[in-house]
Amino acid sequence: MYFKWGRSRVHIFPLLSITAIVLVSNVLWSFSGYTFCHREPSLCACHKCLTDSDPWFNYIISEAPKPFMSQKHKPSEEDFNWWKNLQGARHQNLTFYNKTLERLFQTITPIADVGEPHPDHCRSCAVVGNSGNLRGSHYGPLIDFHNIVIRINRGHTKGYETDVGTKTTHRVMYPESATRLDNTTHLLFFPFKTHDFLWLLKALNPGENDAPNLKKIANKDLMMILHPAFMKYVHQVWLGRKGYYPSTGFLAVVLSLLMCDEVSVFGFGADSEGNWSHYFEILRNKKLKTGAHPGEEEYKIIEKLHKKKKIVFFKGW
């Protein structure tokens, strides 16, 4: 088994001893510009933490609001008025929205906080997008090597294990991109309209609907609901208001910078022929672009984060 790094390939044998894993890790991080030789005192146990000094990065992260909603952290009217226009639903009503949230919070208690860095821990995260550039990448073992693996929408693993891995700890989705999760996977719910919360209520309580034999969509105790203020922050501060609103993938990348100590990003951008396709689909429309999302701007920022060594970006080709 092997994965590809640029033009070179690193072989990984099926049975790795602890020593071999450490050696592989050393090779990977030395390729990406990090080193195991020496590390200054830091807030986390990683070899380079996101919290290490960089004026631009520290400023943009300091502007971030709390990313997740809870009973005590609901949207303001200003946040709601910005959010309700994302998909052209200006008729949405704040009173009805708040009542819907109350119903939801009576059903679940979402996880509301992200953990702080700690000198005894290193939270390594892989954010796995769905770009066609993952085909033939052989990144699977490297993706699964991370503590946290965040997948986006319907990103498949079955049949694509060599390129995208098998591990999923967090899944980003909304109703139109929903897939049923196992009992150990965190749901990162990205709502874009009030109806999304109504859908979630039904999906979490299928026995109350007309189809009592349906299984619930996710574990109620492993839910995190993205706050409209965070979406607004990413659109305005990170993207300079370009596009109508950020893609779910780019929202996940920025979110990972708050959740993790080390971040690796896979499966973003167009493929080697310039097509914005998905690795699990047959490309039929070669003129397909990124729609309402500023895909090229998001890609530039991901590249910038890589150049500043805040993340490691694996392009796939």
Catalytic residues: 245, 293
C-alpha dist (Å) from residue 206 to 40, 109, 219:
52, 18, 13
Angle (CA) 223 224 225, round 5°: 120
Residues sharing a CB contact under 8 Å with residue 58, sequence separation 6 or more, in sequence order: none
- The half-sphere exposure of 260 on its side-chain side, counting CA atoms within 13 A, is 24
Is the four-CA dihedral 300, 170, 196, 111 of positive or negative sign?
Answer: negative
Identify residue 228 by its one-letter amino acid code: P
Contact yes or no for 65/235 (Cβ under 8 A)? no
Residue 21 token pair? 């894993």
Closest CA to 262 of 174, 172, 149, 173: 149
Give the C-alpha separation, 127 to 254, whole Å: 10
Collapsing DSSP states into helix, strand and coil, what is residue 142?
helix
Give the C-alpha separation, 171 to 139, whole Å: 19
Collapsing DSSP states into helix, strand and coil, what is residue 82?
helix
Residue 132 token pair? 């066609």
Closest CA to 203 of 189, 191, 215: 215
